[in-house]
């Protein structure tokens, strides 16, 4: 799996530095966009690491910001070139652009805090469970396409067991996730078994939010908070069939972090969660 030099990491580092330089120069985003003939939204995507930055645009921005130190300029240009490379996930055809951004961020994250209301988190799914999900969501998809999407999901899971700084995952699953027999009893039994195995990993925490809790902080739907190494700001990802949203402002991240804290406080303890999963597996 990619390390800290992955294209997504380089784009994030470059974007953070460009935003810092722009703000230090006292220049607004729309002023820069107009000067270098970019839309404000595109420039914003560069500053948040969601889009690569061409060297010509970078040179123009650094001129505007008064950056003249040759060594600093060269470092930033190298980051821009490395950020233009494609990530490993680009080999999977049909991946929506916004979800591709998510996969890139996930691949360089240090930890994830996730709430799932309908399905097992993708990093914890079995291949057959993933296939059943893709088949249900797209009845017109070919078997080959479904297999490729499932393969991508399995590839993403390598982050959990990478030898160098494995990804830390804290997953809160609604009880409905465990009781919905996706793919049928056999597939679901294997899926519950995988959850039990995952719960034993030192970098994973799995909790179940029981129906008995009633109304809770996750009723707006699933979300994921991604934290990154090196002090990079966290990102909240909220996905839906209507589109995917990334939130990075401090007050936005704080709001979702507080919601997650409420959810994990309301959920069963990790030990009780394992007992619940084991009981449901025996009943399936």
Residues 132 and 264 in one domain: yes
CB 123 within 8 A of CB 197: no
Q: Which of 42, 67, 83 is the last residue of a domain?
A: 83
Q: Is 2 within the bounds of a domain?
A: no
Residue 4 in this model has a pLDDT that exceeds 50: no
Same-domain check for residues 79 and 96: no
Per-residue confidence band for 82, with pLDDT thresholds at 50, 70 and 90: confident
Whether 5 shows a pLDDT value over 50: the answer reads no
Per the structure, how many domains does the chain have? Answer: 2
Q: How far is CA 27 from CA 34, 37, 49, 54, 245, in A?
A: 12, 15, 19, 20, 26
**Same-domain status, 245 and 135:** yes
- Whether residue 121 sits in one domain with residue 51: no
Residue 132 sits in the same domain as residue 247: yes
pLDDT tens digit string along 16-47?
889 989 999 999 999 999 999 999 999 998 99
Confidence of residue 2 (pLDDT cuts 50, 70, 90): very low
The CATH number that applies at residue 169 is 3.30.870
Q: Is residue 97 in some structural domain?
A: yes
Are residue 107 and residue 169 in the same domain, yes or no?
yes
Domain contains 250: yes
pLDDT in tens, 83-136: 777 777 777 776 776 788 788 889 889 999 999 999 999 999 999 999 999 999
CATH of the domain at 55: 1.10.260.40
- Out of 19, 50, 83, a domain closes at 83
Q: Are residues 31 and 130 in the same domain?
A: no
Closest CA to 160 of 128, 198, 191, 125: 198
Same domain, 170 and 120: yes
Q: Are 133 and 182 in contact (CB under 8 A)?
A: yes
Tokens of 126: 């079995």
Taking each helix axis from N to C end, the angle separating 143-156 and 127-137, rounded to the nearest 10 degrees, works out to: 130
Average pLDDT over residues 261-274: 97
Do 238 and 170 lie in one domain? The reply is yes
Same domain, 147 and 209: yes
In-domain check, residue 74: yes
Domain shared by 186 and 77, yes or no:
no
* End-to-end Cα spacing for the chain: 34
Is residue 136, in this structure, part of any structural domain at all? yes
Of 83, 118, 133, the residue that ends a domain is 83
pLDDT on residue 6: 66
What's the domain range around 185? 91-283
% the chain with pLDDT above 90: 68
Same domain for 166 and 209: yes
Of the chain, the percentage scoring pLDDT greater than 70 comes to 96
């Amino acid at each position: 799996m990619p390390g800290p030099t992955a294209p997504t990491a380089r784009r994030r580092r470059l974007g953070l530095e460009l935003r810092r330089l722009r703000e230090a120069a006292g220049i607004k985003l729309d002023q820069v966009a107009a000067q270098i003939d970019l839309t404000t939204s595109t420039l914003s995507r560069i500053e948040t690491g969601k889009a690569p930055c061409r060297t010509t645009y970078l040179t123009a921005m650094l001129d505007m910001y008064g950056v003249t130190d040759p060594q600093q300029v060269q470092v930033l240009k190298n980051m821009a070139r490395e950020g233009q490379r494609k990530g490993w996930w680009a080999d999977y055809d049909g991946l929506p652009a916004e979800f591709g951004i998510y996969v890139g961020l996930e691949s360089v994250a240090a930890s994830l805090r996730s709430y799932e209301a309908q399905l097992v988190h993708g990093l914890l799914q079995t291949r057959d469970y993933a296939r059943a999900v893709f088949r249900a969501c797209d009845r017109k998809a070919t078997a080959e396409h479904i297999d490729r999407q499932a393969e991508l999901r399995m590839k993403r899971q390598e982050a959990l067991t990478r030898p160098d700084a494995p990804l830390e995952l804290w997953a809160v699953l609604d009880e409905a996730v465990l009781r919905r027999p996706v793919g049928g009893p056999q597939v679901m039994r294997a899926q519950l078994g995988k959850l039990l195995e995952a719960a034993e990993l030192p970098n994973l925490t799995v909790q179940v939010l029981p129906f008995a809790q009633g109304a809770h902080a996750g009723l707006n739907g699933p979300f994921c908070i991604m934290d990154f190494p090196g002090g990079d700001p966290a990102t909240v990802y909220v996905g839906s069939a209507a589109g995917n949203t990334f939130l990075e402002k401090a007050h936005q991240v704080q709001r979702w972090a507080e919601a997650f804290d409420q959810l994990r406080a309301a959920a069963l303890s990790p030990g009780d969660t394992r007992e619940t999963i084991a009981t449901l597996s025996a009943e399936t």
